[in-house]
Amino acid sequence: MTARVLDGKALAAELRAEIAAEVAQLQAATGRAPGLGVVLVGDDAASRSYVTAKEKACAAAGIRSREILLPASASREAVLEAVRELNADDDTDGILVQLPLPDAAIEREVIEAVDPAKDVDGFHPVNVGRMVLGLPAFVPCTPAGILEMLRRAEVPLAGALVVVVGRSAIVGRPLSILLSQKGVDATVTVCHSRTPVLARYTLQADVIVAAAGSPNMITADMVKPGVVVVDVGVNRVPDETSARGYRLAGDVDYEPVARKAAAITPVPGGVGPMTITMLLRNTLIAARQRRAPQA
Ligand code: GUN
């Protein structure tokens, strides 16, 4: 078997065209385009490139973006002040604080400073709590993108055994909750760095979501034939043959796993473009809700 490649880039392009049309409608109706405020602290190269990709995607969809760039040495108070400024700015509908922050110790406080109505990353405890309860909420972009991709690819989830590898607050944990909710109805197992004999679980899985941040950790001997594999890993692996000095590797040993799988997402061009697309969608939703709060 050779896997169907789940082309996140192509699907994202389709969805972004739909979002751009809805943005144009909202702008025509209200005289204002949706706006995203981004806080970037420090000069980490990967964070810079993610933020640039998000801002470019916003511009292409007709969403305004405003960036507050702070030095890595910025104080806790300066970071909180940037968030408060965006909370108070009427033209800012959605707020994104790029993580990780140089000072990990202030992350929780900074996330909790974001107005939940503008929390398009879905990281604020109010949105996390609402999501767990199955109430309307901003859902974190990577889990939302993965679900949308599986839905559009018509991968059956009801009754499927899904193994999520990784328990991060951004991907693994929220995705496991969404997959087990009524209406999706997957049976979910969450594995992590302390799981002994990971293959014991992955070999049973109808769908594997690899989100551990460990290059090539899911190998062909760990998956059953016909599995659907979603690779969330974006790992920079040193590569002297590349001009950049590195190449991107997922969490999945792609070629051998693709020979056994029914479907697989590539890295790059799989989950990444879908994540950014969900950010655009959440920003559009935030703008609509803020302009018609009673609706
Ligand atoms: N860092 C890695 N992923 C994300 C994300 O989805 N949102 C933000 N704000 N930071 C991240």
* Domain ranges, ordered by start, for the chain: 31-119, 141-272
Ligand 1 atom nearest to CA at 97 = 9
Best mutation site among 114, 119, 170 for ligand 1, i.e. most ligand atoms within 8 A of its Cβ? 170
Q: Give per-residue pLDDT as tens, 126-174.
A: 999 999 999 999 999 999 999 999 999 999 999 999 999 999 999 999 9
**Position of tokens 């990353």?**
121
Domains 31-119 and 141-272 in one fold: yes
Q: Whose CA is nearest to atom 11 of ligand 1?
A: 99
Q: Under 8 Å CB-to-CB from 104, ≥6 apart: which residues?
A: none
Phi/psi for 162 (5° steps) reads -105, 125
Q: Give per-residue pLDDT as tens, 193-237.
A: 999 999 999 999 999 999 999 999 999 999 999 999 999 999 999
CA 98 to centroid of ligand 1, rounded, Å? 5
Q: What is the pLDDT of residue 294?
A: 54
Q: Give per-residue pLDDT as tens, 66-102.
A: 999 999 999 999 999 999 999 999 999 999 999 999 9
CATH node for 31-119: 3.40.50.10860
The CATH class for the domain spanning 141-272 reads alpha beta
Ligand 1 atom nearest to CA at 121 = 7
Burial of 294 (0-12, 13-18, 19+ CB in 10 A): exposed
SS (H, E, C) 42-55: CCCHHHHHHHHHHH
Q: Flag whether pLDDT at 293 surpasses 60.
A: no
Mean pLDDT (whole number) for 42-49: 96
CA 175 to centroid of ligand 1, rounded, Å? 15
Ligand 1 pocket, residues with Cβ under 6 angstroms: 96-99, 121, 141-142, 170
Global confidence as pTM: 0.96
Bridge partner residues of 165 (DSSP): 191, 210
